[in-house]
Structure 1
Amino acid sequence: MDKAHRFRPDIQGLRALAVLPVVAFHAFPDLLPGGFVGVDIFFVISGYLITRILHQELREGRFSIAGFYVRRVRRLFPALYLMLFATMLLGLILLPPQELRELAKTVAATVGFVANFLFYDLSGYFDGQSELKPLLHTWSLAVEEQFYLVFPLALAAVWRLQPRWLPVILWVAAALSLAWSVRELGQDASRAFYYPWPRAFELLIGAIVAVGAIPPIRHQTVRDGLSLLGIALIAASLLLLSDEQPFPGFTALLPCAGAALILAAGEEGESLGGRALSLAPLVLVGSLSYSLYLWHWPALVFGRYLALRPLTAPEAIAAVAVAFALAWASWRYVESPVLKWRLPHWRVLAAGGATMAATAALAAAVVLGHGLPQRLDPMGRTLIAAAGDSSDFRATCHSGEHEVIPYRKLCAFGDPQAAPSLAVWGDSFGAEFVVALGEKMARERRSVLQVTASGCPPALGYNPRRRPGCAAYNAERLAELAADPRIREVVLVVNYLGFMADTPDQQAALLDGVERTAQALHAHGKTLSLVYSIPRMPFVAPTALAMETLRGGDPSGFGQRRADFDRRDAIVSARLDRIVRETGADRIVPAQRLCGDRLCPAYRPGAGVLYFDHAHLSIAGARYLLAGVRV
């Protein structure tokens, strides 16, 4: 067998070293903080294997673009489309209309090889929780497919024009892609993550190894040492990296270099690290890796929809076990048999095209049918509609992640003839609060100024992990509010429980920052009101309530347990109580209005759905809260 098609068990083991961390990271994010780099290892492997075969065919003069795409269809389509159809079927059973319609859109995007672009568009602050998108993982397949559409033709063109320049061109292309990735990280981290050109260097690293653009490693001791170094680099990336760090960029070189060293060490023969990766259990998992990657994420997501809350550890283990079972069945009865078929190229391509068309037609029917709301009864449709019960003024009055509204253009709510005498200063939790407060103040011929920004709490000197400009923003807002003689009172609204998921140091920094803000406003003669913690729901409230109704349950019974809220809120309430004593601020305690003795519900008869997602009060919820509060 030629070198390009030689079976290498170490590569199967390397696949296992890629997929297992991804599964572990998605099931238990705190267990393996760098597990997401398994995708980057997959990119290197794919770039290596594809280029190795294409390079051999070009050298032997038997390159065929049709043959390449036939191999891709046979390798990728059967398991992928089985998963897509199963996911759509489960979506019809388990998902409410809005989520089903979004799922159908992602199915269509996956069929069209553009899922990464769609998920980039859906990566904004209010575009839904990523852990509830069943096909989110297909973004990486789209990146690979876009590479497959361009790279073989580019490789063939270079080979025909200047084959001797191929190694240099690959090195230059990889360097340019890496530079692009680093640049994008500074401008738009989501684009750097999802787009193909900032990711291309990872696939090109594998291609560089495949074409022999690095010196061959013939000495056994050197091969052994480099293969072990490669494993060590991957292990370091799994343990030392986290999703809090900028990625990909230079950080991605750690796992990619590790994978490249393992691949290069096995080019001329076995290596010590390669033999370790060739153990039978790892080779088996490597064989299942593609199907396991396809099935693990939908299994976890639909598990959450069944539970209507985050999964417990035993539930996550059960979901992973289901994913392994489905992966084995898919590999045994779908992947392996199809790869053994010997059909004419036109039949394979026709079958692939027909499958794409049928899947796209099914997705289009669901999208055009608006997620088939007729599956819900009138009560369920009313509950799910609360997902849209947010402020209509977010685009014009609320500062987003990338654009700050100048102070002179901030919106006032209430009596349009009255100058604002009160300001609501907060993160995104203030956006609906200020609208409802404006309705209340209009009846008193007063108005309120909205000073809110997504993910940016009014905490002086504090920068959230993903909002490095907040400290500067807040310093400027303080100066503006202090200098505004119209504003006599300021209400501080913060997503406290959301930030309490951070490290203890970050929690302390947030609370210290809020205290500094309160003291500074007090020193400038402003009257203060502190809004205490708003309870968070264990799941997106409109979705959970509609699903409870669909299952015959009582929507009033869904919410956060009061004991859990009190436990999580203890640190926050204690600090806010101290600030109240120091500054004489008024207290607005949402739990006194929103919670009972045992439950903080998401729905109250007569008031409606109190949240438009899992954490933000809806307009109805803000009205209900303020009906029992004097401001």
Structure 2
Amino acid sequence: MNPALVYRRDIDGLRAIAVLPVVLYHLGVAPFSGGFIGVDVFFVISGFLISTIVYREVQAGTFTYARFYERRIRRLFPALAVMLLLTGIVAWFMLLPLDYKLFSEAQGLSVLFLANFHFWNKTDYFNDAVGNIPLLHTWSLSVEEQFYILFPPLLLFLVRRFPARINLILLGLALLSLFGAQRAVSRVPETAFYLVHLRAWELLAGALLATGLLPGHRMQWLRELSALLGLALILGTVFMLDKSAPFPGVSALPAVLGAVLIIHAGQGGQTLTGRLLGTPLLVLVGLISYSLYLWHWPLFVFAGYYKIVPFTPLEQLALFILSCLLGWLSWRFIETPFRGKSDPARRRQFFQWSGVVAGALILVSLPGAITKGAAFRLPENVAEIASVEKETIPFRRPCFGISVEDVDQERNVCTLGAEGAADFLLWGDSHALSLAHGFDLVAREQGQSGRFLARSVCPPVLGSREFRPSDVSCAEFNSAVVRYLDRHPEITHVILVGVWSTYLRRDLESADPGTSFAAGMDRTLAYLERRGIRYTFLEQVPLIEHHVPQVLARLTALERDLEIRPTSQQHEAGVADARRYFDDLAKKHSFARVDLSDVLCDEQYCRVKVDGQPLYRDTNHLSKAGSEYVSPLLQTVIRVPTSEQESR
């Protein structure tokens, strides 16, 4: 018998080493900053174990797709189905419409093992917003099962046509996949993270162990060293990597290599590391690892959805214990009964019942998926508050983020206020977009006309570095704005809007002082003063720690009370550097400054809602209602000075 097929306690222990960092990373336990690499270790283990079985049966001529996929369904589907059903019940009563829509879509696609494609188009795994997505973790199950749709036919073909070159071909495919992942991670990281062809190299690493790429160690000391090094690579990655690193690709290689070294060392005999991994507690965690992986993330998401603020250490401990308990219950009473030997005579019936359950789960996901998150589930006021997140933003289309060519040809340059020759220009980033509606209202009242030119994460400064990769550089866009002003001498007032504290903080990252935000601002002010254009700075709105519409809606739905307003002192501390910067500018230049916090904050707190309506549509952009709320202050911004009125 192939020794690789003998039950190995060390592999169950390795499963524990894979799943525990994932769970602790998702709990936010700081030392486990790279715990997400546990999934990569799982891929290697799965690639080894499944490929060992398939390769043996293909070589023996006993492989059948029916038996292979029955085993996969028995292994994965029952526990997954129960998790999807129970989380669906909780989600129905708890999630806001947008979150429930995303949940429902993922619920249906998880059954079909297509969730990775869904999240590929929807979210960045390392974004804080994923804390509201209970089924995000199903992406990895989808990647694994897609691999096992493609891999058995490939292996069958290679055994029959190129038996002597199997390892060479599989190694070539693995290297090609790794190369593609490394290229993608710097350009389209979500593609590298979620798609099977760029994750295949991790599964193929395990498969290559099963097909005998590496000869066994002949000396015990070499096995010991190999296993110990493997464990060190995995643990080192868990504690040293973090979500800011480009991932996956080469950054996942140490963890993958570590898993390969441990599995390979154990193929030739027992090691000290193997005995450590084979201790009863680690083996138990390894046995329940699949169910633990299934249940921990929805549990954490729902708990966080209710709690809103970060978990305390005691709450983290309680959630960890509860997730392990749920994992054990699922393993004991759902996984284990279905993993017995199959009965070929009843295989068709098993597939039929599996299809019925899958169809039922897809059916129950439809109300949330095909509607706007089944908003009818919630009280009308809750749905209304939550909808602010996706409200139609005035002047977003077609005005916001237009191209350089559009600016130069004056296409889609929107008018604020009355039609006619422009009196002022609103120039800035996405915060200018948030204020465009308010400026439009007050300009109409005063019979004035303005224009609007803005791009996301693009401060109104000339020749600065890029603050976020984009298909249109900020430098090119802002140069086009200057050309626009040159063509329109009737514009005598420019209003500059930006999240100033953020750009100034990022100046510390700039290697070239000439392309810094401050240097760019100096060039902007020099241009405006040379042209004789007066200008006004709008100091930024208070930044909120929480997503305002979501949190207000959740608090309303759950009948909870939580203070989410930042204190005025917190706001002042956050903008202190920006205020000092503008104070220094005022010593050299003459301009107006208008502080939006004069309206949004009182002596104690900064407002996030008025009459139950959110003033923000996220954590930092004013909503339509918020733009209207600050409009009295905006009116003072565009009011024409007496001297100009007389000259007219």
Work out whether the TM-score is over 0.5.
yes
How far does the alpha carbon of each residue in 1:387-407 deviate from its partner, in whole angstroms, 9 at most, with x for none?
Answer: 23242543533339xx87753
Report the counterpart of residue 604 of structure 1 in structure 2: 610
How far does the alpha carbon of each residue in 1:369-403 deviate from its partner, in whole angstroms, 9 at most, with x for none?
Answer: 54332333332232222223242543533339xx8
Report the counterpart of residue 515 of structure 1 in structure 2: 518
Distance, in Å, in 2 between the alignment partners of 1:414 and 1:614 is 25
Distance, in Å, in 2 between the alignment partners of 1:609 and 1:280 is 53
Distance 1:421 1:48, change over 3 A: farther
Q: What is the CA RMSD across the aligned residues, in angstroms?
A: 3.2
Report the counterpart of residue 553 of structure 2 in structure 1: 546
Distance, in Å, in 2 between the alignment partners of 1:338 and 1:128 is 36
Contact kept, 8 Å, 1:79 with 1:330, in 2: the verdict is yes
User: C-alpha displacement at 1:573, in angstroms?
Assistant: 3.7
SS of 2:329's equivalent in the other structure is helix
Q: Output aligned runs, 1:156-171, within 5 Å.
A: 156-171=156-171
The answer to whether structure 1 residue 536 and structure 2 residue 534 are counterparts is no
- Greater CA deviation, 107-116 or 266-275? 266-275
The answer to whether structure 1 residue 325 and structure 2 residue 332 are counterparts is no
SS of 2:593's equivalent in the other structure is strand
Report the counterpart of residue 372 of structure 1 in structure 2: 374
Distance, in Å, in 2 between the alignment partners of 1:452 and 1:293 is 44
Report the counterpart of residue 3 of structure 2 in structure 1: 3
Unaligned residue ranges in structure 2 (runs of 5+): 638-648
User: C-alpha displacement at 1:435, in angstroms?
Assistant: 3.4
Q: Which amino acid aligns with 1:522?
A: L
Q: Output aligned runs, 1:288-327, within 5 Å.
A: 288-327=288-327
Distance, in Å, in 2 between the alignment partners of 1:563 and 1:314 is 29
Distance 1:157 1:508, change over 3 A: closer
Distance, in Å, in 2 between the alignment partners of 1:61 and 1:140 is 30
How many aligned residue pairs are there? 622
Q: Which amino acid aligns with 1:494?
A: G
Q: Which amino acid aligns with 2:524?
A: L
Contact kept, 8 Å, 2:507 with 2:516, in 1: the verdict is no
Distance 1:405 1:367, change over 3 A: farther
Q: Which amino acid aligns with 2:331?
A: W
Q: Output aligned runs, 1:428-507, within 5 Å.
A: 428-458=430-460, 461-464=464-467, 467-468=468-469, 473-483=473-483, 484-485=485-486, 486=488, 488-495=492-499, 505-506=508-509
SS of 1:601's equivalent in the other structure is coil
Contact kept, 8 Å, 2:453 with 2:481, in 1: the verdict is no
- Greater CA deviation, 232-241 or 480-489? 480-489
Distance 1:585 1:351, change over 3 A: farther
- Greater CA deviation, 620-629 or 418-427? 418-427
SS of 1:31's equivalent in the other structure is helix
- Greater CA deviation, 575-584 or 187-196? 575-584
Contact kept, 8 Å, 1:579 with 1:585, in 2: the verdict is no
Contact kept, 8 Å, 1:541 with 1:602, in 2: the verdict is yes
How far does the alpha carbon of each residue in 1:489-548 deviate from its partner, in whole angstroms, 9 at most, with x for none?
Answer: 443433467789x899459999x9443333222111254433334233443322322233
The alignment's TM-score, normalised by the length of structure 2, stands at 0.87
Q: Which amino acid aligns with 2:553?
A: A
Distance 1:479 1:538, change over 3 A: closer
Report the counterpart of residue 389 of structure 2 in structure 1: 387
Q: Which amino acid aligns with 1:586?
A: A
Distance, in Å, in 1 between the alignment partners of 2:405 and 2:350 is 55
Report the counterpart of residue 640 of structure 2 in structure 1: none
Q: Which amino acid aligns with 1:534?
A: V
Distance, in Å, in 2 between the alignment partners of 1:324 and 1:509 is 51
Contact kept, 8 Å, 1:309 with 1:538, in 2: the verdict is no
User: C-alpha displacement at 1:364, in angstroms?
Assistant: 0.9
User: C-alpha displacement at 1:118, in angstroms?
Assistant: 0.9
How far does the alpha carbon of each residue in 1:571-604 deviate from its partner, in whole angstroms, 9 at most, with x for none?
Answer: 4444444444443443332322223344333220
Report the counterpart of residue 624 of structure 1 in structure 2: 629
Distance 1:229 1:128, change over 3 A: closer
- Greater CA deviation, 355-364 or 189-198? 189-198
Q: Output aligned runs, 1:590-601, within 5 Å.
A: 590-601=596-607
Distance, in Å, in 2 between the alignment partners of 1:124 and 1:393 is 27
Distance, in Å, in 1 between the alignment partners of 2:315 and 2:581 is 35
How far does the alpha carbon of each residue in 1:600-629 deviate from its partner, in whole angstroms, 9 at most, with x for none?
Answer: 3322018x3212223321121122123333
SS of 1:209's equivalent in the other structure is helix
Percent identity between the two aligned chains: 33
Distance 1:395 1:136, change over 3 A: farther
Contact kept, 8 Å, 2:418 with 2:443, in 1: the verdict is no
Unaligned residue ranges in structure 1 (runs of 5+): none
Distance, in Å, in 1 between the alignment partners of 2:294 and 2:336 is 16
Contact kept, 8 Å, 1:116 with 1:139, in 2: the verdict is yes
Report the counterpart of residue 645 of structure 2 in structure 1: none
Distance, in Å, in 1 between the alignment partners of 2:388 and 2:451 is 25
Contact kept, 8 Å, 1:73 with 1:348, in 2: the verdict is no
How far does the alpha carbon of each residue in 1:435-468 deviate from its partner, in whole angstroms, 9 at most, with x for none?
Answer: 332333244444444443334445664554xx24
Distance 1:44 1:492, change over 3 A: farther
How far does the alpha carbon of each residue in 1:331-383 deviate from its partner, in whole angstroms, 9 at most, with x for none?
Answer: 22222232236543223322321221111010013334543323333322322
Contact kept, 8 Å, 2:4 with 2:267, in 1: the verdict is no
Distance, in Å, in 2 between the alignment partners of 1:218 and 1:81 is 45
Q: Which amino acid aligns with 1:543?
A: Q
Q: Which amino acid aligns with 2:368?
A: V
The answer to whether structure 1 residue 61 and structure 2 residue 64 are counterparts is no
The answer to whether structure 1 residue 351 and structure 2 residue 357 are counterparts is no
Contact kept, 8 Å, 2:424 with 2:451, in 1: the verdict is yes
User: C-alpha displacement at 1:224, in angstroms?
Assistant: 1.4
Report the counterpart of residue 270 of structure 2 in structure 1: 270
Q: Which amino acid aligns with 2:246?
A: P
Distance 1:455 1:227, change over 3 A: farther
SS of 1:44's equivalent in the other structure is helix
The answer to whether structure 1 residue 111 and structure 2 residue 111 are counterparts is yes
Distance, in Å, in 2 between the alignment partners of 1:124 and 1:445 is 45
Distance 1:449 1:405, change over 3 A: farther
Distance, in Å, in 2 between the alignment partners of 1:140 and 1:5 is 25
The alignment's TM-score, normalised by the length of structure 1, stands at 0.89
The answer to whether structure 1 residue 279 and structure 2 residue 269 are counterparts is no
Q: Which amino acid aligns with 1:435?
A: H
SS of 1:355's equivalent in the other structure is helix
SS of 1:429's equivalent in the other structure is helix
Distance 1:312 1:410, change over 3 A: farther
SS of 2:420's equivalent in the other structure is coil
User: C-alpha displacement at 1:258, in angstroms?
Assistant: 1.6
SS of 1:89's equivalent in the other structure is helix
Distance, in Å, in 1 between the alignment partners of 2:611 and 2:245 is 44
Q: Which amino acid aligns with 2:433?
A: A
- Greater CA deviation, 43-52 or 621-630? 621-630
Distance, in Å, in 1 between the alignment partners of 2:207 and 2:404 is 43
Distance, in Å, in 1 between the alignment partners of 2:510 and 2:569 is 21
Distance, in Å, in 1 between the alignment partners of 2:385 and 2:418 is 32
- Greater CA deviation, 197-206 or 242-251? 242-251
Contact kept, 8 Å, 1:398 with 1:405, in 2: the verdict is no
How far does the alpha carbon of each residue in 1:219-270 deviate from its partner, in whole angstroms, 9 at most, with x for none?
Answer: 2121111222222222332233332232222222222112111111111112
Distance 1:449 1:361, change over 3 A: same
Contact kept, 8 Å, 1:185 with 1:247, in 2: the verdict is yes
Contact kept, 8 Å, 2:503 with 2:517, in 1: the verdict is no
Report the counterpart of residue 613 of structure 1 in structure 2: 618
Q: Output aligned runs, 1:8-87, within 5 Å.
A: 8-28=8-28, 30-87=30-87
Which protein is bigger by CA-based radius of gyration? 2
